[in-house]
């Protein structure tokens, strides 16, 4: 369900927004709705990526290699 909102902008900005919307073949409302959707989707995608990255950091990585020798083993003569 769509809902109308009221937005206050400077007259110069409104004139330029009308021109941009006309170039793109849409209305100012359509232009703003698409931009808001893009912003929300980007924020959600960022949060998902952040959660995945933190989970990977928490679990750690196995970088190969075996058990390291003890200090005594390294210094045997």
pLDDT-above-70 percentage for the chain? 99
Query: Does residue 55 fall inside a structural domain?
Result: yes
- Which pLDDT value is given to residue 30? 96
Report yes or no on 51 lying in a domain. yes
Q: Two tokens at 34?
A: 């698409």
Residue 60: predicted pLDDT: 83
Q: What percent of the chain has pLDDT over 90?
A: 71
Q: Hey, what are 30's tokens?
A: 């359509």
Q: How many domains does the chain fold into?
A: 1
Host domain of residue 45: 32-59
Q: Which two tokens stand for residue 37?
A: 């959707």
Confidence of residue 39 (pLDDT cuts 50, 70, 90): very high
Strands (E), 1-77: none
Note the pLDDT of residue 67.
Answer: 86
The pLDDT value recorded for residue 28 is 96
């Amino acid at each position: 369900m769509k809902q109308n909102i009221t937005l206050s902008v400077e007259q110069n900005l409104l004139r330029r927004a009308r021109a941009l919307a006309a170039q793109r073949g849409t209305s100012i409302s359509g232009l703003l709705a698409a931009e808001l959707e893009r912003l929300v989707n980007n924020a959600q995608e960022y949060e998902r990526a952040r959660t995945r990255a933190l989970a990977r950091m928490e679990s750690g990585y196995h970088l190969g290699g075996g058990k390291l020798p003890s200090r005594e083993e390294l210094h045997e003569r």
